């Protein structure tokens, strides 16, 4: 099922935490400073203070715009703005790249599989991207590589310093806005979001713990964390948290994730439970990938003897109709979230 | 199916538009000033500017807190704050009264039918209300009357000047926050929300048109508007817009609603369509009753030859799991909302 990867020969220079602030200065004029939210009902039920950073209100409905935009603006700063950008993604990264390209007048080509959600295809096109669909992910990756070899700049969804720095600006905003957490929780896909979050925390909340949540069904990063070696899924894992299905971390993101305080693996039922409850309590659309972070926070809070203040990073609010159907098939709102 | 009601003998003094500003001064320290939202994607698709006032972010998740709180604070101002308050409601009004009572230290008793959503029962209890469930609505009303006769103050969900004035503060905020609409749209249930909205518009946007949306399946107010007489459903109408199911207007709310510029009756499919699209575009939970107003706005916008700016009042974001299931049973997000 999983393959350990030898990373001893790979090298790169880690980002300093200040890279997150630089990224924020760069992208701030173009992004939304998303709100913090809190539910007094939830705080009462759990006996802790849970503050949410809600990236569903970011442009394109997810944090991914931050990283893609920082990547392009960084290139522009260096006088290296490409004419063409390419990436493959069936999710929020596609829309992030498409919108960043549109803002900077760069042509974007997005590769998706034909089975990708029609909503996401339509949203990507609406930002002006050239969308190419292929029967398989392998073909999408091959076509991306081909276009990159012809000169298009490939924005990797997570294995890119400037993407990582951009993703970290969400946590930076939360900490600048006054959250003083004992612990910070985020969802682990390829690790870009959590790498940036970790760096932002080192800059502004160096005493805060940082934890990852990951679907049990897609626990490559958690296994990597535990074994000290990157492990990779041979085939795409299945989880309702469709933003957390990467096959493996990159050596770059693994470098930061090794430094976290722990990983929590959460079941599909726990993900759906918290998707329902967060939608109910916060009145925002919460994609299951976002709920993974709350499910992890809940597991940690249950082990705490004194009242804790946690920052839960909600990655986005793009939910496909078929996902809504799965989320609401059973009713979990009649089971209170106690501790 | 419907019964005309002779209202010629009923009299009352209409509220001046300034009552809305007075209500807002009264309740402002306790309520949330809810956000305005806009979707550039929607504006592009429709060729008009649609600004949403999002009461899903109000305390209790709907505008109903405004009216209930204004009613109690008005009584307090006059030195007539009751010790006990009673109402019957299976919806957001129950929670509005419960929270308003809690804030002012007034005991509240809420009558609901046993079939009311467990979520709403639980939320009402969580605000400290004494909840009594009865097998039928008739019994709930009878018990309410009995408690009122024993001295409890009955806060009617719409047939109450101070409730109407409170509900109007949402539109007042939107207009104070700079929206300059050509037309304003709200959903019609018992008419309190729209009566207050109409009054607020007379104060701050006297040239704006004001329209009501109502489910075709629950079109008593629309029929009343067209015939000039209040018509009443003999039995509770059925619609997924569960906040718009009142049997009839009161003479008080009919007085204001007669002055609107029109009513639009919308089908269940149109309600579900806009519930899906507004959830998708705004990333907030949208109850079907809220989507009724957008469905009405869409019908009006289709008749316009020049670009219009409309204010759509979204009443709330409390969605029961069984309602979510109905909303997402079919996928309407693959049908773009054009004009």
Domain total in chain A: 2
Q: Which of B141-145, B215-219, B309-313 has the lowest mean pLDDT?
A: B141-145
Q: Which two tokens stand for residue A149?
A: 């070899």
Q: Please determine, for residue B310, whether its predicted confidence score (pLDDT) is greater than 70.
A: yes
Taking only the tens place, the pLDDT of each residue in B116-157 is 877 788 889 988 999 999 998 889 989 999 999 999 999 999
Residues 94-123 of A with CB under 8 A from B: 118-119, 122
The answer to whether residues A283 and A319 belong to one domain is yes
> How far apart (Å, rounded) are the C-alpha atoms in residues B67 and B70?
5
Interface probe for A, chosen from B328, B336, B337 (most Cβ of A below 10 Å), is: B328
B147 & B167 share domain: no
Q: Are A285 and A316 in contact (CB under 8 A)?
A: no
Verify whether the Cβ–Cβ distance A321 to B336 is below 8 Å.
Answer: no
Cβ–Cβ contact A136 with B under 8 A: no
Residue B167 pLDDT: 98
* pLDDT tens-digit readout, A54-105: 999 999 999 999 999 999 999 999 999 999 999 998 789 999 999 999 999 9
Residues in chain B with CB shorter than 8 Å from the CB of A324 are: 324, 327-328
- B246 and B127 within one domain: no
Final residue in a domain of this structure, among B117, B132, B151 = B151
**Where does the pLDDT of residue A9 fall: very low under 50, low under 70, confident under 90, or very high at 90 and above?**
low
Q: Write out chain B residues lying below 8 Å of A283, CB-based.
A: 56-57, 61, 284-285, 317
Chain B residues whose CB is inside 8 A of the A240 CB are none
In a domain, B156, yes or no: no
Mean pLDDT, residues B45-64: 97
Picking from B125, B151, B177, the residue at the C-terminal end of a domain is: B151
DSSP A183-225: EEEEE-SSSHHHHHHHHHHHHH-TTSEEEEEEEGGGTHHHHHH
Check which CATH number belongs to the domain holding A261 and give it: 3.40.50.1100
Helix, strand or coil for residue A60? helix
Indicate the residue of B283, B325, B336 with minimum beta-carbon distance to A328.
Answer: B325
**Average pLDDT of the segment spanning A43-47:** 94
Which carries the bigger pLDDT value, residue B94 or residue A116? B94
Q: Which tokens sit at B230?
A: 């209040």
Nearest to B281 by CA among B271, B292, B269, B273: B273
Which pLDDT score, from 0 to 100, does residue A282 have?
Answer: 97
Strands (E) located in chain A: 2-5, 36-38, 49-54, 84-88, 107-113, 130-134, 153-154, 183-187, 209-215, 230-233, 262-266, 309-314
Residue B111 sits at φ, ψ, to 5 deg, of: -95, 130
How many C-beta atoms surround the C-beta of residue A212 within 10 A?
28
Q: Does pLDDT of B2 surpass 70?
A: no
Looking at the complex, report in whole angstroms how far the Cα of residue B126 sits from the nearest Cα belonging to chain A.
8
Q: Does the pLDDT of residue B6 top 80, yes or no?
A: no
Residue A10 CA to residue A252 CA, distance in Å, equals 9
The answer on A141 and A16 residing in a single domain is: no
Closest Cα partner for B116 from B147, B84, B139, B99? B139
Pair B166, B283 in one domain: yes
Which B-chain residues 198-257 have CB contacts (< 8 A) with chain A?
Answer: none
- For residue A310, being part of any structural domain is answered with yes
The pLDDT of residue B72: 98
Q: CB A325 to CB B325 under 8 A?
A: yes
Say if residue B43 is in the same domain as residue B177: yes
Whether B76 maps to a domain, the answer reads no
Q: Mean of the pLDDT values across residues A194-200?
A: 98
The strand order across the sheet containing B49-54 reads B36-38, B49-54, B309-314, B183-187, B209-215, B262-266
Single residue among A151, A181, A199 that ends a domain in this structure: A151
In a domain, A334, yes or no: no
The model's pLDDT over B267-276, given as tens digits with 9 standing for 90+, comes to: 999 999 999 9
Kindly state the average pLDDT of the residues B80-97: 93
Same domain assignment for residues A26 and A133:
no
Domain that holds residue B137: 83-151
Considering only A133-137, B73-77, B168-172, B314-318, which range has the smallest mean pLDDT?
Answer: A133-137
pLDDT at B8: 52
Residue A228 pLDDT grade (very low, low, confident, very high; cuts 50, 70, 90):
very high
Q: According to the model, what pLDDT value does residue B12 have?
A: 83
pLDDT at B316 over 70: yes
Could you tell me if residue B225 is inside a domain? yes
Do residues B95 and B231 share a domain?
A: no
Please list every residue in chain A whose beta carbon sits closer than 8 Å to the beta carbon of residue B331.
321-322
* Minimal-distance CA residue of chain B relative to A124: B41
Q: What phi and psi values does residue A333 have, to the nearest 5 degrees?
A: -75, -10
pLDDT for B151-198, tens place per residue? 999 999 999 999 999 999 999 999 999 999 999 999 999 999 999 999
Whether A331 and B322 lie within 8 Å, measured CB to CB: yes
Based on the fold, state whether residues B190 and B137 are members of the same structural domain.
Answer: no
Q: For the segment B288-299, what is each residue's pLDDT rounded down to a tens digit?
A: 999 999 999 999
pLDDT at A5: 57
Share of chain B above pLDDT 90, in %: 84
Structure confidence at residue A12 (pLDDT):
83
Smallest CA–CA distance from B57 into chain A, residue = A283
Q: Please determine, for residue A34, whether its predicted confidence score (pLDDT) is greater than 80.
A: yes
Coil vs helix vs strand at A161: helix
- What average pLDDT does range B92-119 have in this prediction? 92
pLDDT at position B7: 53
Measured CA angle at B48 (ends B46, B51), to 5 deg: 110
A317 and B285 in contact by Cβ < 8 A? no
B45, part of any domain: yes
pLDDT recorded at residue B10: 57
**List of chain A residues whose C-beta atoms are within 8 Å of the C-beta of residue B280:** 119, 285, 319
Would you state the pLDDT for residue A136? 85
- Token digits of residue B235: 């039995």
Residue A90 pLDDT:
77
Mean of all residue pLDDT scores within chain A: 94
DSSP state of A28: T
Cα distances (Å, whole numbers) of residue A201 to A143, A168, B325 = 37, 9, 39
Residue A128 in any domain: the answer is yes
pLDDT at A8 over 60: no
Q: Are A314 and A240 found together in one domain?
A: yes
Same domain, B175 and B26: yes
Kindly state whether residues A139 and A204 are assigned to the same domain: no
Domain assignment of residue A200, yes or no: yes
Q: CA A202 to CA A209: how far, in whole Å?
A: 10
Strands A36-38 and A49-54: antiparallel
Strands across the sheet with B84-88, in order? B130-134, B107-113, B84-88, B153-154
């Amino acid at each position: 099922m999983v393959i350990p990867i030898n990373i001893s020969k790979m090298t790169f220079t880690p980002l300093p935490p200040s890279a997150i602030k630089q990224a924020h200065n760069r992208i701030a004029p173009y992004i939304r400073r998303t709100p913090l939210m809190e539910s007094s009902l939830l705080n009462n039920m759990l006996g802790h203070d849970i503050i949410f950073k809600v990236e569903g209100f970011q442009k394109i409905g997810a944090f991914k715009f931050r990283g893609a935009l920082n990547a392009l603006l960084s290139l522009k700063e260096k006088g290296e703005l490409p004419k063409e950008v390419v990436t493959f993604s069936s999710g929020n990264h596609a829309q992030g790249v498409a919108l960043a390209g549109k803002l900077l007048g760069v042509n974007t080509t997005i590769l998706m599989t034909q089975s990708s959600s029609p909503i996401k295809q339509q949203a990507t096109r609406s930002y002006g991207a050239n969308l190419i669909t292929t029967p398989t992910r392998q073909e999408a990756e091959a076509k991306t590589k081909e276009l990159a070899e012809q000169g298009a700049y490939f924005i990797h969804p997570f294995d890119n310093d400037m993407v990582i720095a951009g993703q970290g600006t969400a946590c930076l905003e939360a900490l600048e806005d006054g959250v003083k957490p004992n612990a910070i929780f985020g969802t682990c896909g390829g690790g870009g979001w959590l790498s940036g979050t970790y760096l932002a925390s080192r800059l502004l909340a160096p005493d805060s713990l940082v934890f990852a949540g990951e679907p049990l069904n897609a626990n490559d990063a958690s296994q990597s964390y535990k074994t000290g070696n990157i492990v990779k899924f041979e085939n795409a894992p299945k989880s309702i948290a469709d933003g957390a299905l990467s096959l493996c971390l990159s050596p770059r993101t693994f470098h930061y994730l090794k430094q976290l305080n722990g990983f929590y693996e959460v079941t599909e039922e726990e993900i759906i439970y918290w998707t329902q409850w967060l939608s109910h309590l916060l009145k925002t659309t919460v994609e299951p990938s976002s709920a993974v972070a709350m499910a992890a926070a809940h597991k940690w809070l249950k082990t705490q003897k004194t009242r804790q203040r946690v920052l839960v990073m909600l990655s986005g609010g793009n939910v496909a109709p078929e996902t809504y159907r799965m989320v609401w098939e059973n009713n979990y709102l009649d089971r209170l979230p106690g501790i």
